Structure 1
Amino acid sequence: MKKMYSLLALFCREINLPGHKIAHKIKKSFSRVEQIIFYILFFVLVTSTVVLLFCINQAFLVKVPKEGGFIIEGVVGVPQTINPVTTNPFTSPEVDNGLVALIYSGLLKATPTGTLIPDLAKDYTISEDGLVYTFTLKDNLSWHDDEPITSDDVSFTIQKAQDPKIDSKYKANWVGTTVTTPDKKTVIFTLSEPYSPFLQNTTIGILPKHLWKNVSSDTFEHNRLNTIPIGSGPYKISKIKKHGDDTIEYYDLIAFENYAMGKPYIKKIRVQFFTDESVLLEAYKKGGVTNTNSIPPKTAEDLAKDYPYQLARLPRVFGVFFNQNEAKIFADKTVREALNLTVNKKEIIDEIFYGFATEIDGPIPPGALGFMAHTEETPLTLTTDERLEGARKLLKDSGWSPNEEGVLTKKTTDGVQTLKFSISTTQTSELFAVAYKLKESWEKLGAKVDMKFFETTNDLKDHAIRQRKYDILLFGEIIGRDSDPFAFWHSSGRLDPGLNVALYTNIAVDKALELARATTSTEARIKQYEIVQKEIAKDIPAVFIYSPKFIYFTRNNIMKLYLHTLNTPSERFLNVHEWFIETEQIWKIFARDKEIL
């Protein structure tokens, strides 16, 4: 009781209440029972007040992202050219593309769902005729070295992409486009003809003119700035660690405070380089790497049992393309139809990709604009035996019969045709396995199939694709989210440097592709792409097999990491500035500029 009295007296004294003298009177005037009752009521009052204040505090508290945390991104290979003008998001090493995505930024950028939003740009307008695009830059933009960003930087970058002496993979995107800069914050692009996917071109990373202006075109691809890049993206380089042989071991990147879309929450990203997949995998299992996508399908299947991962669509088309000029037997549509029918795509996906791919039935893959789930001409649910039986009947009814060796032949006015051809592709593990699976299926049908493997994609391009020297080409086409299959299926691309590897000609398809390019209406483009897909399904110039999935393994509990449809693996970083690992609780009135969780 004495302690209770002392606490009451101290409480009154500390808050400067004259009532602390009353405590003495209470002790003298109250009976012992009255004192006990008084102190109990006083304790209840204090406790209730504290609880009430706590509840009020909790009612106004909200959870929000907090700056902090780090990730270690493991990739196979070493950086060579971290330059948005010279790297190719589709063919350059993933090492380079990933770093470009983190370090550089463009006028626009895509969200994980594919919507284009302003990055360096504040806003833009498009003229009614679709020829003039006017961009206005945001205020107070700066490079990682704190120099200001102006419209001159944008103009300079596009000039370099157009420079014939620089091997920019974006050169074709800017043919017929002129760039003017009426002031430091305005960029005007004028096209020679309407081109509906043009806005996608403006996602190219912008180079700092003040650093690159004195670099000649001849030395552009080999300048030291390509390995110590300075950009305006969400992260900037803070440290470069090298091995004894001067190769880079890792880059440490820190959040850029003046990033155009807001400072990233994750404080640091280390991009660490490994010599091969096995070393990377071991590092991931031991916790030395937190994030990676450089994992083959079989390993990914095993890893997925114990570690978290996310999947995303990669809008690509892998299949076999018939060259009727090189192998005359493919001029017979029945042969193409029979070979198409024989392929069991589900088996290929299950046995080679372990489910990390999607069956496709046409030139536009899932996740791309205008995708059609299937066409009536292609049965998707037949078993392997049913496919084989149906294909044999097609060929038999068309006059094909087996010779003494069991290979199908057909008598024609030009002599005897033999169902014999070769498959040309690269030696990558997946394509190698797919090629042999096709060979097995087609030889059961009665074909004689030879294999021609090329060590690299460049070898395949130089010795087969550019010369159009192949019977069947097993190859992948990167369509992208904002699909424009013009380059792959318009008849103007039948010869090198065109990409129409099936040497396909169809007047209706040509017209539809031209109309799709000329309109800015999404609905109109989809309508034209439906025509393209239906015509190609009828003609069967190729066997469309699969579209791969992107597999991203993580260890940290990264929130706001959204993967949907990625043009390239490097697009996993599309919203990296929104990723966060740590959270905190603050009063709602102080969370105006933060996302409430």
Structure 2
Amino acid sequence: MRFNLRWQILLAVLAFSLTAALLSFQVRSASLCTTRVPAAGGVFVEGVVGLPQTFNPLLSDPYPVDRQLVSLVFDGLTQVDASGQIMPALAENWSVSEDGRTLRFVLRDDITWHDGEPVTAADVAFTYGLMQDDNFPGPAALKNLWQSVTINQIDDQTIEFVLTEPYAPFLSETTRGILPAHLLEGVTAVSLADHPFNQSPVGTGPWMVGANQDWQQNGRLQLLPNPMFWREGTQIPVLEFQFFPNETALAEAFADGRVQAMNTVSPEMLPDVAAIPGVRLFTAESPRYTELLFNQGESGAPLLKSAEGRQALAYALDRDAVVDRVLNGQGLPLEGPYLPTSWAYNPAALTQYQYDPTAAQLALSAQGWEKVDGVPVRRNEEGEPLQIRLLTLAGAPHEPLAEEIAWQWADIGIETLVETAVDGAALRASLAEGDFDVALVDIPPPADPDLYDFWSQEAIVRGQNYGRWNNRNASEALENGRQIWPVTERRPYYDTFLRLFNSDLPALTLYQHATTYALSPTVEQAEIGKITQPRDRYKTFAQWFLLYRDVSIVCPAEEITPDSE
């Protein structure tokens, strides 16, 4: 058999090349390592107690779940920042006329609806025009306000509001979400509540409602990141809300891993949730507080008629102990009717009512309520016992709070009868009728510090001054403060109001609410900071991730030490 030399040489070269390639691959493989890096994908599932009623910014006020979802999907002309100031949102800027009656807003030209259509002044005029209709199904206060406003569309980018008189709190009304007129053409106030738009709304906010969903039937709502907001994208493509009938069911789903977050953890549930392995808890200030409202009207207890009597009740309370014992510490100290985020907040104008039972007892004695040996309840000269009716909502946390307050007041000789209202409507009815001595109530203060509808003399008759605080100077300060626009000019009137409030003490703030959010350890790189509005919880969502993928990298060189040589 004869061999071809040229073929032999060629085969030898090929064999050598193949061997070299294999050796090279082995060398390279030996220098590569596998590591895990974040991967796009997955569905982030957040559990919420309750089911949305109407997914519409004009109708969401009475429903907590709805308000949160509306914040994610819709934008207003303006928004409130962390310092309580009104800032632009859909509006680029605005101006106020010299007489303080006309506001003109210029819209941004780079905003579109989730369906790609441009946002125009026609959308704004349509939205606020619905609230002017006599048949508007939303809160009556909204209808009354907007019926007094003339709306003029100047051009596609400019909208004008003409007021009957200067009214600075009006600016905060423009934070309400705007509706797309092109999708609701022909819709009236009567048909708004039942319109299919409310099941799959289109807004301008950071989140879009996914198509073809029936969240009222299956209890799930999926939101998608709006690419116009999340310009660089997100690792997680879907934010899903699952709705639960109660917190117990939600906590079980969270512990089992069926949901990766609990939207809110109540103080009562906090110890159980905190015990779940690996759970991360984020606690933030909430824009509401709980107060004791004192009835100074004819139907109120005699002790409450004087500031000294009301101050005695304040000194007799260890508010820190109330928060610790009933709320597992989930409450923040606060004095007065303004949150720290409000520009009208001024702690220097307020007395810090530290727990001082001695001062409380001296004040009660000075009011003619004396302790008698062997008798637990103080009495006056006529032998009448010192009794107070404390009104609150039934159930946790309000009823346990009331019981704790009653227990503390009993320590200085006050007999407190806790009376409960079955729901919010019953509570409001009792407040309006003056059927209480002291009421334990939650207050979500308005974005603007104008409290005329709560504390003015007029509000005793046509408002929510349920405590019947009758102070002319305080009323005038509130009235003057709402009639001028610059914050620097308004501030002195609210400082005056605060000093008068502090002197008379028509209500005692117990604590500012805190909201706790629970997150599973399966959610990586999630950080949650200060929350001014519900969408703030997801400020860092772009960096959150659920999945990993394996990638090959060059292994780091081994460090040679003298001992290893």
- Rounded to whole Å, the distance in 2 between the matches of 1:143 and 1:121 is 14
Deviations 1:51-80 (A, max 9, x none): xxxxxxxxxxxxxx9986642221011121
Residue 253 of structure 1: CA displacement?
1.5
Aligned with 1:312: secondary structure?
A: strand
Alpha carbons of structure 1 residues 446 and 158: separation in structure 2 relative to 1, 3 Å: same
Residue 410 of structure 1: CA displacement?
2.1
Aligned with 1:549: secondary structure?
A: strand
TM-score for both structures, normalised by structure 1: 0.77
Structure-1 residue corresponding to 2:333: 359
* Paired residue total: 513
Aligned with 1:225: secondary structure?
A: helix
Matched, 1:289 2:256: no
Alpha carbons of structure 1 residues 112 and 541: separation in structure 2 relative to 1, 3 Å: closer
Structure-2 residue corresponding to 1:124: 94
Matches within 5 A, 1:40-439: 70-88=43-61, 92-112=62-82, 114-139=84-109, 141-169=111-139, 170-171=142-143, 173-174=145-146, 176-239=148-211, 247-258=217-228, 265=234, 266-304=236-274, 306-325=278-297, 326-329=299-302, 330-373=304-347, 377-380=351-354, 382=355, 387-402=356-371, 406-411=376-381, 418-439=385-406
- Rounded to whole Å, the distance in 1 between the matches of 2:105 and 2:512 is 35
Matched letter for residue 458 of structure 2 = S
Contact 2:72-2:534 at 8 Å conserved across structures = no
Q: Out of 436, 447, 452, which is 2:414 matched to?
A: 447
Aligned with 2:426: secondary structure?
A: helix
Q: Which runs of 5+ in 2 are unaligned?
A: 1-12, 18-37, 549-565
Residue 455 of structure 1: CA displacement?
1.5
- Rounded to whole Å, the distance in 2 between the matches of 1:67 and 1:200 is 39
Residue 301 of structure 1: CA displacement?
4.3
- Rounded to whole Å, the distance in 2 between the matches of 1:263 and 1:127 is 40
- Rounded to whole Å, the distance in 2 between the matches of 1:522 and 1:565 is 23
Alpha carbons of structure 1 residues 271 and 263: separation in structure 2 relative to 1, 3 Å: farther
Matched letter for residue 484 of structure 1 = D
Aligned with 1:134: secondary structure?
A: strand
Structure-2 residue corresponding to 1:579: 541
Alpha carbons of structure 1 residues 236 and 418: separation in structure 2 relative to 1, 3 Å: same
Residue 180 of structure 1: CA displacement?
0.7
Structure-2 residue corresponding to 1:478: 444
- Rounded to whole Å, the distance in 2 between the matches of 1:416 and 1:138 is 70
Contact 2:262-2:517 at 8 Å conserved across structures = yes
Residue 332 of structure 1: CA displacement?
3.1
Aligned with 2:469: secondary structure?
A: coil
Contact 2:48-2:263 at 8 Å conserved across structures = yes
- Rounded to whole Å, the distance in 2 between the matches of 1:434 and 1:582 is 38
Q: Out of 404, 409, 427, which is 1:460 matched to?
A: 427
Deviations 1:521-570 (A, max 9, x none): 3334333322222212211222221111122223365768554253xxxx
Aligned with 1:436: secondary structure?
A: helix
Aligned with 1:536: secondary structure?
A: helix
Structure-2 residue corresponding to 1:544: 509
Aligned with 1:174: secondary structure?
A: helix
- Rounded to whole Å, the distance in 1 between the matches of 2:446 and 2:328 is 23
- Rounded to whole Å, the distance in 1 between the matches of 2:524 and 2:122 is 37
Matched, 1:501 2:480: no
- Rounded to whole Å, the distance in 2 between the matches of 1:397 and 1:139 is 66
Contact 1:68-1:581 at 8 Å conserved across structures = no
- Rounded to whole Å, the distance in 2 between the matches of 1:133 and 1:280 is 45
Residue 277 of structure 1: CA displacement?
0.7
Alpha carbons of structure 1 residues 345 and 173: separation in structure 2 relative to 1, 3 Å: farther
Matched letter for residue 177 of structure 1 = V
- Rounded to whole Å, the distance in 2 between the matches of 1:450 and 1:212 is 52
Matched letter for residue 214 of structure 1 = G
Aligned with 2:56: secondary structure?
A: coil
Contact 1:256-1:263 at 8 Å conserved across structures = no
What percentage of aligned pairs have identical amino acids?
A: 26
Structure-1 residue corresponding to 2:488: 523
- Rounded to whole Å, the distance in 1 between the matches of 2:362 and 2:423 is 38
Contact 2:78-2:90 at 8 Å conserved across structures = yes
Aligned with 2:461: secondary structure?
A: coil
Contact 1:70-1:268 at 8 Å conserved across structures = yes
Residue 432 of structure 1: CA displacement?
0.7
- Rounded to whole Å, the distance in 2 between the matches of 1:187 and 1:318 is 38
Residue 459 of structure 1: CA displacement?
1.8
Question: What is the RMSD computed on CA atoms of the aligned residues?
Answer: 3.5
- Rounded to whole Å, the distance in 2 between the matches of 1:126 and 1:66 is 50
Structure-1 residue corresponding to 2:435: 469
Residue 196 of structure 1: CA displacement?
2.8
Alpha carbons of structure 1 residues 221 and 342: separation in structure 2 relative to 1, 3 Å: same
Alpha carbons of structure 1 residues 168 and 211: separation in structure 2 relative to 1, 3 Å: same
Alpha carbons of structure 1 residues 564 and 492: separation in structure 2 relative to 1, 3 Å: farther
Higher deviation after alignment, 122-131 or 486-495: 122-131
- Rounded to whole Å, the distance in 2 between the matches of 1:460 and 1:114 is 29
Alpha carbons of structure 1 residues 514 and 146: separation in structure 2 relative to 1, 3 Å: same
Structure-1 residue corresponding to 2:33: none
Structure-1 residue corresponding to 2:560: none
- Rounded to whole Å, the distance in 2 between the matches of 1:379 and 1:466 is 28
- Rounded to whole Å, the distance in 1 between the matches of 2:100 and 2:261 is 42
